[in-house]
């Protein structure tokens, strides 16, 4: 198990809970007024899902090289920052052009899962 990636996944999950609660309570009036509650909730969900992905990565790291493990972990983190981060900012601020970068985060998520699956499938154990 990779303690580093397990810890990163746990921190990302804790942040997800905090951001979700803040959105549901502290930002509720702003999000509802601008009809962006669903966008904010999507960002929280994807951050949650991929934080668990990082935790899964920590357990299967023993089958991967350190370089591959880190590459996958950083793709998950990039996806969280770009995908969820852009949706958080869009939801709160209304800056629409941020929606143009959101797909890059989605691509990072997709690549992380594909590389992870391929690497585990082709591992020697």
Q: What is the number of structural domains in the chain?
A: 1
Give every CB contact of residue 58 below 8 A, 6+ residues apart in sequence: 1, 2, 3, 4, 5, 6, 9
Residue 94 confidence (pLDDT): 77
Q: Mean pLDDT over all residues of the chain?
A: 91
Task: Provide the pLDDT confidence category of residue 25 given band limits of 50, 70 and 90.
Answer: confident
Confidence (pTM)? 0.90
Residue 114 and residue 95: Cα distance in Å, rounded? 31
Task: Give 54 or 25, the one with higher predicted confidence.
Answer: 54
Residue 37 confidence (pLDDT): 81
Give residue 55's domain range.
3-121
Question: Is the distance from CB of 67 to CB of 41 less than 8 angstroms?
Answer: no
Question: Is the distance from CB of 68 to CB of 19 less than 8 angstroms?
Answer: no
Residue 112 and residue 107: Cα distance in Å, rounded? 8
Residue 54 confidence (pLDDT): 97
Phi, psi of 35 (to 5 degrees): 55, 45
∠ CA 51-57-58, nearest 5°, is 95
Residue 51 confidence (pLDDT): 96
Phi, psi of 79 (to 5 degrees): -60, -45
pLDDT in tens, 42-89: 999 999 999 999 999 999 999 999 999 999 999 999 999 999 999 999
Question: Is the distance from CB of 63 to CB of 92 less than 8 angstroms?
Answer: no
């Amino acid at each position: 198990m990779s303690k580093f990636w397990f810890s990163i996944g746990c921190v990302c999950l804790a942040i997800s809970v905090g951001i979700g609660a803040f959105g549901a309570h502290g930002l509720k009036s702003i999000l509802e007024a601008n009809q962006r509650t669903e966008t904010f909730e999507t960002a929280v969900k994807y951050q949650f899902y991929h934080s668990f992905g990082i935790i899964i990565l920590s357990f299967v790291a023993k089958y991967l090289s350190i370089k591959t493990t880190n590459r996958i972990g950083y793709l998950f983190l990039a996806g969280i920052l770009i995908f969820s981060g852009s949706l958080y900012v869009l939801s709160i601020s209304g800056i629409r052009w941020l929606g143009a970068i959101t797909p890059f985060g989605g691509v990072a998520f997709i690549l992380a899962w594909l590389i992870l699956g391929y690497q585990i499938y082709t591992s020697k154990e």
